[in-house]
Copies of this chain bind each other. A is one copy, B any other.
């Protein structure tokens, strides 16, 4: 286990001394697919780093509607939870396990001193911010500048890329929920994509071509 964590963390560009600290101080957390990692009302005083698996970050509105924002893959961290914790605010989003995942949880107490001490940690944190800003902006692009069919196709490609598989195991209903539209609309548009030869459909499964 220990070596496994080391291996992941090495790819983040963090310096060895810091990795030692992280390994000593953090704790392992396992989440199985479909479960919630962070929700708007959970306390949240730890910063998660994804060791394996895949998380997805969603935005929720007061009426319970949702939109998919982006995936968090191995080696990445949730930038939003950092600021949330620093400011002691409630999360305004929801993080779920898309696959069975293992996380390394670091208490927020250490954040400030690490930022002060380690140049590599500053780079890590600011890099995380940059990446998330970019993802949010891409989401805005997708929603503002494109129609639902393009948005859907981009979502499928994102999912293919994040899971590393050209097969997506989701129902039309689930996809509709992530794009905040209705099942009928998704079925209609997926049929269109199929006619264009971009995908192939099976029960509970979409194949990206």
Residues of chain A touching chain B, judged by Cβ–Cβ distance below 8 Å, are 59, 61, 63, 65, 67, 69, 79-80, 82-84, 86-87, 89, 92-93, 112, 115-116, 119, 122-123, 126-127, 129-130, 132-134, 136-137, 139-141, 143-145, 180
Residue of B nearest to A118 (CB): B116
Chain A interface helix/strand/loop/mixed: helix
Q: Copies per complex? A: 2
Cβ-defined contact, B143 with A143, below 8 A: yes
Residue of B nearest to A143 (CB): B143
B-chain residues with CB within 8 Å of residue A134 when the two chains form the complex: 92
Cβ-defined contact, B140 with A67, below 8 A: yes
Known A137-B136, A143-B143; contact A130-B83, beta-carbon cutoff 8 A = yes
Known A129-B129, A130-B89; contact A140-B137, beta-carbon cutoff 8 A = no
